[in-house]
Structure 1
Amino acid sequence: MGSFPSTLTSVPSYWPTVSFSLLLLGQILSIPCYFFVGYHIIFEKSSRKALHNHVIVILLFYNFLGITFDLSLTLDYDRVGYVSLFSPTLCRFWQLVDNGIWYGGIYLMMWASFERHILVFHSNFVRTKRQLLLIHYIPLIFFALYAPLLYIYLIFFYPCDEDFDSTVDLCGGMCFYATIPNWFLVYDSFVDYTIPILLIVVFSITLLLRFIRQKQRLQQAVTWRQCRKMTIQLTLVSATYLMFDLPYVIIFLVQTCGYPDFGSNVIMPYIGDLTFVPAIVLPYATLMALPGLKQKLRNLFFWKRHQRQIVPLTTRT
Structure 2
Amino acid sequence: MSDNFSDDNIINDNVSRTWIKIEFSLFLIGQIVSIPCYIFVLYHFLAHKITRRALHNHVIIILLIYNFIDLTVDLSLTMTYSLFDIVSPFSPIVCLLWQFIDYGIWYGTISLMFWASIERHILVFHSNIIRTKQRRIILHYIPLLFFSLYTPILYFYLIFLYPCDHVFLSTHVRCGSLCYFYSAPVWFIYYDTLAHYTIPILLITLFSSILILRFIKQKSRLKQAIKWRQCRKMIIQLSLVSISYLVFDLPYIIIIIVQSSGYPNFGSEIITPYISHLVYVPPIVVPYATLLSLPRLKYKLRSLLIWKRNRRIIAPITVVQ
Q: Above 0.5 in TM-score? A: yes
Q: In 1, distance between residues paired with 2:150 and 2:226?
A: 36
* 1:137-216 map, 5 Å: 137-216=141-220
Q: In 1, distance between residues paired with 2:171 and 2:117?
A: 39
Which residue matches 2:23?
Answer: 19
Asked if the contact 2:66–2:108 (Cα under 8 Å) also holds between the matched residues in 1, the reply is yes
Q: In 1, distance between residues paired with 2:270 and 2:89?
A: 32
Using the TM superposition, name which of 118-127 and 280-289 deviates more.
280-289
Q: Which structure has more helix as a fraction of its residues? A: 2
Q: In 2, distance between residues paired with 1:173 and 1:298?
A: 48
* 1:30-109 map, 5 Å: 30-109=34-113
TM-score by length of 1: 0.91
Structure 1 alignment gaps of length 5 or more: 306-317
Q: Percent same amino acid at aligned positions?
A: 59
Which residue matches 1:314?
Answer: none
Using the TM superposition, name which of 240-249 and 195-204 deviates more.
240-249
1:277-300 CA-to-partner distances (Å, cap 9, x unmatched) read 111111112112222343222332
Summarize the Cα distance change of 1:264–1:276 in structure 2 as closer, same or farther, 3 Å threshold: same
Structure 2 alignment gaps of length 5 or more: 311-321
Q: CA deviation at 1:147?
A: 0.3
Q: In 2, distance between residues paired with 1:17 and 1:213?
A: 47
Q: In 1, distance between residues paired with 2:271 and 2:213?
A: 30
Using the TM superposition, name which of 260-269 and 132-141 deviates more.
260-269
Q: Aligned residues, how many?
A: 306
Alignment partner for residue 303 of structure 2, among 299, 305, 308?
Answer: 299
Which residue matches 2:121?
Answer: 117
Q: In 1, distance between residues paired with 2:217 and 2:226?
A: 18
Q: In 2, distance between residues paired with 1:227 and 1:267?
A: 39
Runs of 4+ in 1 over 6 A off after TM superposition: none
1:244-301 CA-to-partner distances (Å, cap 9, x unmatched) read 1111111112222222211111344212121111111111121122223432223323
RMSD: 1.9
Q: CA deviation at 1:95?
A: 0.3
Amino acid across the alignment from 1:259 = Y
Which residue matches 1:270?
Answer: 274
Q: CA deviation at 1:222?
A: 5.2
TM-score by length of 2: 0.90
Q: In 2, distance between residues paired with 1:76 and 1:17?
A: 10
Q: CA deviation at 1:207?
A: 0.8
Q: In 1, distance between residues paired with 2:221 and 2:19?
A: 49
Q: In 1, distance between residues paired with 2:299 and 2:280?
A: 28
Which residue matches 2:2?
Answer: 2
Amino acid across the alignment from 1:256 = S
Summarize the Cα distance change of 1:268–1:243 in structure 2 as closer, same or farther, 3 Å threshold: farther
Asked if the contact 1:288–1:294 (Cα under 8 Å) also holds between the matched residues in 2, the reply is no
Q: In 2, distance between residues paired with 1:177 and 1:150?
A: 14
Asked if the contact 2:38–2:64 (Cα under 8 Å) also holds between the matched residues in 1, the reply is yes
